[in-house]
């Protein structure tokens, strides 16, 4: 059984919540979300916000909070082989309500099909599915991901995420 060891990133001003399934091996090693260098999560968000891609954990936290984005995962603990979402078993979900009650979350998005399926199974039906930024999602180029993820820009009218 693997335990999720990365705390959620959010504050009272967060308006968008993006949920993955469970941290990859690389993310668990680095202690932060989307830690694999080939994962396109940070490049997609930076492109949408017209900013430089954050590099350090501190830069990533600052980027998220400045843009009112909360990030966490659906799963608190599970059995998983490596980083393979298809191997996930014995899921215990995270307490997503703890973020919702302490922030201004208006929209919830899931990063990929596994996160979406598990969110619907354990939490609710109020999340919008976005294509996975994982390098395993080879069907999506970076440009295609940026285009699909641009839906999060429509959450607000002031031009920011």
What band does 158 get if pLDDT is binned at 50, 70 and 90? very low
Distance CA 76, CA 140 (A): 28
Q: What confidence tens digit (pLDDT) does each residue in 15-43 have?
A: 999 999 999 999 999 999 999 999 999 99
pLDDT at position 13: 98
How many domains in the chain? 1
Give the global pTM. 0.94
What are 131's two structure tokens? 């294509």
Considering the candidates 5, 13, 39, 94, report the single residue annotated as catalytic: 39
> Is 145 a domain residue?
yes
150, part of any domain: yes
Per the CB < 8 A criterion, the answer to whether 73 and 112 are in contact is no
Instruction: Tell me if residue 90 is catalytic.
Output: no
What is the span of the domain harbouring residue 72?
2-155
SS3 21: coil
Query: Residue 15 contacts by C-beta under 8 Å, 6 or more apart in sequence?
Result: 68, 69, 103, 104, 105, 106, 107, 155, 156
Instruction: Using the predicted structure, report yes or no on whether residue 48 has a pLDDT greater than 60.
Output: yes
Is 161 among the domain residues?
no
Tell me the C-alpha to C-alpha distance, in Å, between residue 145 and each of 27, 76, 148. 20, 26, 5
* Percent with pLDDT over 90 in the chain: 94
Res 156 pLDDT > 70? no
Return the CATH number at 114: 3.40.470.10
Domain annotation covers residue 49: yes
- What tens digit of pLDDT does each residue of 70-98 get? 999 999 999 999 999 999 999 999 999 99
H or E element, residue 90: strand 89-93
């Amino acid at each position: 059984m693997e335990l999720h060891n990365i705390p959620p990133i959010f504050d009272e001003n967060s308006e968008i919540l993006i949920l993955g399934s469970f941290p990859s091996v690389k993310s668990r090693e680095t202690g932060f979300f989307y830690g694999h260098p080939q994962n396109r999560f940070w490049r997609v968000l930076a492109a949408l916000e017209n900013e430089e891609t954050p590099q350090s954990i501190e830069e990533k936290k600052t980027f998220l909070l400045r843009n009112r984005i909360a990030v966490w995962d659906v799963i608190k603990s599970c059995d998983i082989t490596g980083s393979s979402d298809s191997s996930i078993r014995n899921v215990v979900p995270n307490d997503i309500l703890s973020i919702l009650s302490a922030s201004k979350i208006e929209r919830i998005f899931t990063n990929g099909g596994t996160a979406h399926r598990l969110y619907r199974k354990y939490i609710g039906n109020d999340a919008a599915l976005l294509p996975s930024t994982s390098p395993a999602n080879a069907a999506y180029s970076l440009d295609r991901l940026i285009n699909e993820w641009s839906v999060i820009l429509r959450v607000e009218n002031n031009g920011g995420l």
